[in-house]
Amino acid sequence: MKEIKTIEFKDDILYLIDQRKLPITYEIFQCETYKEVDFAIKDMVVRGAPAIGATAAYGVVLAAKEFLNNSKDEFFKNMEEALDLLNKSRPTAVNLMWAIRRMRNLIEENKELSVNDIYEKIRIEADNIFNEDIQTNKQMGKHGNEVIPEKATILTHCNTGALATAGFGTALGVVREAFYTGKDIFVYADETRPRLQGGRLTAWELRQEEIPSKLIADNVAATLIRDGKIDVILVGADRIALNGDTANKIGTFMLSVVAKAYNVPFYIVAPTTTIDFDIETGEEIEIEERGSEEVTHIENVRIAPEGMDVFNPAFDVTPSENITGIITEKGIVRPPYRENILKLK
């Protein structure tokens, strides 16, 4: 299995694979300040709920490093500004807020220590978040493999691989686990307009490991489902409500409707860090709207008329009644979702 170093923190520099450039070029984006990390998340140099969380955690490390020579009062004030900026870098993936809250709690719990000692704890905690995510994903892969038949055709949406996490992936991690445990699988990957995470990133990951697969335009999926060509659909998540409603990349909801109509199993694969235990339903999830150029241009080439207005929500919400199960590192959650999700807390 090829190691994909989506995120690497070394000698006080955060190295990110620049996912805006893949698969045409493999470039590394370096962050030396927390403001550069904020930019990297906003501009989707790095993307994917768990990857965003881990990246933000290292952004907190860079902030603490920057303020090491502050007085304690200045340190806490400057750190709060940094935490607040990073927390707002993208609104939908709850892993970001979870990571920032974990760092904020750590600082609060250790405020009697010296600035330097607090920095050391922050540094260790960021590595913990990073390493925990990799272990979580591998555990999810094992649980998810339980629902993959020995011979199966799998449909994926967006990118849920190593590039969306600290490593291995969520839904694509289940694909990896099935592939490397010898199952006869085939993957159809939705290209996933407008940012093409499937066509650029998932396709790149699948080719890296020569996993049998084909890339499809998003509009092809419904026909494959109708014609009985898909055995199971695996998608990721950015925020899951207590009732199981799930926010994920735009186009996921549409897939779930077609899957339900033709009785194809539709699984969310997500770590428990993607569950928002503070919200009851998907109606409470903020859906990020991104710039119009993501829709009017492809690789900076205009494809829509000048002046055309655009609606570009980056996510949608799949209602829990369309979801067969939620594959987490703690096992597969099935309905009744609220009762069973609360057991994960």
Ligand X SMILES: CSC[C@H]1O[C@H](OP(=O)(O)O)[C@H](O)[C@@H]1O
Among 55, 40, 44, 54, CA closest to 20: 44
Q: Please name every residue paired with 30 in a beta bridge, in sequence order, or none if there are none.
A: 15
Please tell me whether residue 160 binds ligand X under the rule CB under 6 A.
yes
Distance (Å, whole) CA 270 – CA 231: 20
Given 14, 17, 29, 47, the residue binding ligand X (CB under 6 A):
47
3-state SS record for 197-259: HHHHHHHHHHHHCCCCEEEECHHHHHHHHHCCCCCEEEECCCEECCCCCEEEECCHHHHHHHH
47 is in an annotated binding site: yes
> From the candidates 190, 238, 245, 316, which is the catalytic residue?
238
89 touches ligand X by CB under 6 A: no
Q: Is the peptide bond before 336 cis (omega within 30 degrees of 0)?
A: yes
The residue type of 19 is Q
| Interaction mask 226-265, ligand X, x per CB under 6 A | ---------xx-x---------xx----------------
Which of the stretches 46-54, 78-86, 126-134, 258-266 binds ligand X when contact is defined by CB under 6 A? 46-54
Choose, by CB under 6 A, the member of 79, 99, 164, 268 that binds ligand X.
164
Is 248 annotated in a binding site? The answer is yes
- 238 catalytic? Reply is yes
- What DSSP character marks residue 286? P
| Per-residue burial over 195-208, b = 16 or more CB atoms within 10 Å of its CB, e = otherwise | bbbbbbbbbbbbee
| Residue 123 is assigned to a ligand binding site | no
Residues of this chain, 91-130, that bind ligand X according to CB under 6 A: none
Q: Is 282 annotated as a binding residue?
A: no
Q: How far is the CB of 115 from ligand X (least distance, A)?
A: 33
The minimum distance between CB 59 and ligand X, in angstroms, equals 16
147 φψ region: left (φ > 0), alpha (ψ -120 to 50), beta (else) = alpha
Amino acid at 173: G
Of 56-64, 101-109, 117-125, 160-168: span binding ligand X (CB under 6 A):
160-168
- Known binding residues for substrate are 47-49, 90, 197, 248-249
Q: Which residues are marked as active site?
A: 238
What is the binding site for ligand X (CB under 6 A)? Answer: 47-50, 158, 160, 164-165, 170, 197, 235-236, 238, 248-249, 314
